[in-house]
Amino acid sequence: MNLLSRVGSTLKRATPARLAVFCFAFTILGVSILGGSVVSAKQSAAPAAQADAHPEFPAGPGRDVTLRLCSKCHSANNILATGRTPEGWQELIIKMTTMGLQGTDEEFTATLDYLTASFPPKVNVNKATAAQISAGLALTADEAKAIVDYREKNGDFKAIEDLKKVAGVDAAKIEAKKNALQF
């Protein structure tokens, strides 16, 4: 029996009270079908839209699941305010689950890995010591010292390009840590 004929036979048997309940239920059903199709249309358009909507989120494994899990209650841009250590991100995810965040273990792991790789703790290159620069940006002690010497001689760094100019520093390493840089 298809949906329409089932509706027809239900209507024939209906008393006014039953009919009212039926109409109410049908309205809810109709709205949720409609709502559902709007949501799924949005979801299928999401990957392209997200790539545009979140240019600050670097490409990488786990990006899509992170944006999906972490934009349900607030903007995913909350993530951008701070960088964190792996432990810090783990604590934050646990805190979000107490707020109602839901996901599978695989989704949480992918999200944690993505957040850890993409948003490390920030290193203020104008204030940090050579030791902090070396640890935070995965540079050798010599590279870190070259940065501090350059800063003392030329004043504060303004942008990543200034850092890449420092003689003796591997610009590729700076590029790899660009999300950790703070000026």
Closest separation in Å from C-beta 103 to ligand HEC: 8
Closest approach, Cβ 93 to ligand HEC, in A, equals 5
What residue ranges bind ligand HEC (CB under 6 A)?
Answer: 69-70, 72-74, 78-79, 92-93, 95-96, 99-101, 111
Angle at 125 between CA 124 and CA 128, to 5 degrees: 70
Nearer to ligand HEC, 72 or 178 (CB): 72
In whole angstroms, how close is the CB of 61 to ligand HEC at the nearest point? 15
- Decide whether 81 or 167 has the Cβ nearer to ligand HEC: 81
Sign, CA dihedral 121-126-132-136, equals positive
> Min. distance of Cβ 154 from ligand HEC in angstroms?
35
What distance in Å separates the CA atoms of residue 18 and residue 24, rounded to the nearest whole number?
10
- Report, in Å, the least distance between residue 66 CB and ligand HEC: 7
Listed residue (141, 134, 143, 182) closest to 164, CA to CA: 143
Nearer to ligand HEC by Cβ, of 67 and 174: the residue is: 67
Largest CA distance in the chain: 90
Contact 126, 151 (CB under 8 A): yes
Rounded Cα distance between 19 and 10, Å, is: 9
CA angle 33, 38, 41 (to 5 degrees): 120
Nearer to ligand HEC, 107 or 149 (CB): 107
Choose between 61 and 155: whose C-beta lies nearer to ligand HEC.
61
